[in-house]
Amino acid sequence: MNWIRSRIFWKIYIINLVVIFALLALMFIIARISLPEITKEQYRYITDKTVLRMKEQIGQIAEDLHKFEQYVQGDPHFQVNDAKQWEEGLEHIIKISPYIDSATVLDANGYVRGFYPDDLSHLLNYNLSKREYFQQAVRTKKAYFSDVVSADTGRYLLVLSVPVLNERNEVERVVNLSMRIVQNHLFRSIVRSFQIGEHGYTFIVDRNGNIISHPSKKRIGDNIAENAVVQKLLRGQSGYEEVVNTEGVAMLASYAHIPILQWGVVAQVPVSEIYKPYALFEKALWFASIAAFFILSILTALYAQQIVHPIRRLCEVAEAVAKGKKHVRADETDRTEIGLLAKRFNYMIDSIQQSEELLRKSEKLAVVGELAAGVAHEIRNPLTSLKGFIQLLKEGKHNQMYFDIIESELERLSEIVDGFLLLGKPNPAKKAYSHVSEMLQHVMKLLEGQALLHHVTVQYSIDEQLPPLYCDENQLKQVFINIIKNAIEAMPNGGILRIEAKQRLDSILICITDEGCGIPKERMATLGEPFYSTKEKGTGLGLMVSFKIVEAHGGKMNIYSEEGKGTTVCLLFPIFSKQEG
């Protein structure tokens, strides 16, 4: 499972995730925009087609019913004033017409004088003169198709009123042919309310906005003239638009006006229905996304493993080589780009090792040359002085000052030789627990005279509660002497020398600050190199030895300097036990 921790795996994985989620997001957006529109157009096609079909069928019914106008007016049963003849004529019409369920014969004053079937016997001599269909038939002397009528029997009817004229072209009587909306199976099968989608439906209204056909039979006879679509139908308009029905639901409605009867047909579907295909698609897309996520994870893991394993092997080889295992090489079994990389990597290791060997030899020669030049330069000066004074002594010129100078130059030669011996073969450390405060005070007693000579004032800030340091006391004193001596000599005109010592976490921090001339920035990088010194007669070996002693004690030595303001040398030593040391 090392591939889980691989950055390559996660990069590949995240890139694949971004790509697939971008595609899914694009699909979501396209579906959100296009699917509702496509569904909307599909429903419009369905509603328009439904409305046109119902309009044609209702028109056909109207034409069939209007044929009864000529039939009734020419039927001899209704030309005579005989109730028996009327009943026979009505019975014949009902038998031959599937649309007619009942019929009555009214005199010119609107009184019922004949009827069929017998369940209308209670209407005999009943006055229907106030009915609109009777008044229109009498007034126009033409057949009139009524609106939805609520009969005294509780039924909803559509009535065709046919006037029977006498020889003087006067209305002698009126024959009412009635269709019982709910009970007439043929009419219901033709104008039944179709269900569109899950919640869409159709309905029919008459010229006054009364419902003739509706999926809920309880709504038949209701007046919905306030409906926006019905109002347009009453004005003789047809079309398609989004409206709000009487229940406050937004609907997409196709509607058509039927001129022959002045009716209207409406097919509508809720607006919310057009988003259902999108919701189903979205749900399926979510499942697909989850499945794609898991499949992608598995495939990416397998693919990343094939890439990560050889690369990780290359990393292990590089780490081993970095640790000095120069014989380790990467596997070259793969012919892919990674295999080629392993081959070039091995070639690079061989080349680097050859270059390192050449560089090592060159460095040795350069160091030997530099060291020889430095030694020759440093030793030549005192040797020249010694040679000159010895020559004077040979000539018999004796002076005590000559011997003092010869002794000084010999000491200088001894100091240079001792420094090289310490660098080449340092004395073994003799570590024990020592207090930093005591070491610093002892060093300052040694250098007190030099400080007074240079008019240097020493300020101490040493924590007396510092724990003892496990160290070689003499070596650390040598470090303190080198640093403090350099600080005093950096202030020939006097100044303040600050020595601070305190505990910081699990270490002891010692800072020595002077107010001398400081060190130029360009010379900071060469501090600690042999034969490099900011002092006129310095060898640079003292600071180099100090760095080496501090590192041998597991510490750090940092030098901060600003030209013209002074220098601060900070020593940081870890506090650890004898066993740890």
Each residue's pLDDT expressed in tens, for the chain with a length of 581 residues = 455 666 766 777 788 778 877 877 887 787 777 777 777 777 778 788 888 888 887 777 778 777 888 888 888 999 898 989 999 999 999 998 888 889 999 999 999 999 999 888 888 999 999 998 899 999 999 989 888 777 766 677 888 999 999 888 899 999 999 888 777 777 777 666 566 767 788 888 888 888 888 877 788 888 888 888 888 888 888 888 888 877 778 888 888 888 877 888 888 888 877 777 767 777 887 787 788 777 877 777 777 667 767 777 777 777 777 777 777 777 766 667 667 777 777 777 778 778 777 877 776 666 566 566 556 655 665 666 667 667 767 776 666 666 766 676 676 677 666 656 555 555 666 888 999 998 888 888 878 888 888 899 999 898 888 999 988 888 888 889 889 988 998 898 899 999 999 998 889 999 999 998 888 887 777 676 654 555 544 455 677 788 888 988 889 999 998 888 899 999 999 987 544 44
Single out the residue of 50, 88, 86 nearest to residue 164, CA to CA.
86
Q: Is 241 left (phi over 0), alpha (psi -120 to 50) or beta?
A: beta
Q: Are 216 and 222 in contact (CB under 8 A)?
A: no
DSSP E strands in 154-194: the ranges are 156-165, 171-180
CB 569 within 8 A of CB 483: yes
Question: In the numeric block, which tokens belong to residue 244?
Answer: 């709000």
| 265 vs 199: CA distance, rounded Å | 17
CB 502 within 8 A of CB 509: yes
**Which contiguous run of DSSP H or E holds residue 113?**
strand 112-116
Distance CA 109, CA 172 (A): 9
**For residue 61, which of 224, 260, 196 has the smallest C-alpha distance?**
260
Q: Are 454 and 488 in contact (CB under 8 A)?
A: yes
Residues in contact with 144: Cβ distance below 8 Å, sequence separation at least 6, in sequence order: 133, 136, 137, 160, 161
Q: Are 194 and 267 in contact (CB under 8 A)?
A: yes
Euclidean distance between CA atoms 217 and 88, whole angstroms: 33
- Model confidence, pTM: 0.43
165, 177 Cβ separation under 8 angstroms: no
With beta carbons less than 8 A apart as the criterion, state whether 217 and 67 touch: no
The residue ranges of DSSP E strands in 171-278, in sequence order, are 171-180, 195-196, 200-205, 211-213, 239-244, 250-258, 263-270
The owner of tokens 């080889």 is: 317
pLDDT at 571: 94
> Rounded to whole angstroms, how far apart are CA atoms 332 and 353?
19
User: Token pair 């640093």 is at which residue?
Assistant: 483
112-116 and 239-244: which strand pairing?
unpaired
How far, in Å, are 101, 295, 569, 570 from residue 440 at the CA level? Answer: 129, 71, 14, 14
Give the pair of three-digit tokens for residue 447. 């250098």
Q: Is 287 exposed, middle or buried (0-12, 13-18, 19+ CB in 10 A)?
A: exposed
Residue 126: how many other CB atoms lie within 10 Å: 14
**Size (the chain), residues:** 581
> Quick one: pLDDT at residue 24?
76
- Single-letter amino acid, residue 470: Y
DSSP label at residue 229: H
- Residue 426 has a pLDDT of 57
Beta bridge partners of 255: 239, 266
Per-residue pLDDT, 190: 65
What pLDDT, on the 0 to 100 scale, is given for residue 47?
Answer: 80
- Interhelix angle 473-489/541-552, rounded to 10 degrees, is 140
Phi, psi angle pair for 154, to nearest 5°: 90, 0
How many angstroms separate the CA atoms of 72 and 70, rounded? 6
Q: What does the alpha-carbon distance between residue 555 and residue 552 come to, in Å, rounded to a whole number? A: 7
Edge-to-edge strand ranges of the sheet holding 566-574: 456-462, 495-504, 507-513, 566-574, 556-562
Distance CA 456, CA 158 (A): 128
Contact indicator for 110, 130 with CB cutoff of 8 Å: yes
Cis preceding-peptide flag for 277 (omega within 30 of 0): no
How confident is the model at residue 174, as a pLDDT?
Answer: 94
Backbone angles phi, psi at 23, to 5 degrees: -65, -45
Residue whose entry in the numeric block shows the structure tokens 């030793």 = 379
E strand or H helix at 254: strand 250-258
Q: Which of 375, 370, 475, 387 is nearest to 416 (CA)?
A: 375
Measure the N-to-C terminal CA separation of the chain; round to a whole number of Å. 39
Phi, psi for residue 147 in degrees, rounded to 5: -80, -175
Provide the CA 115 distance to its chain's centre, in angstroms.
Answer: 80
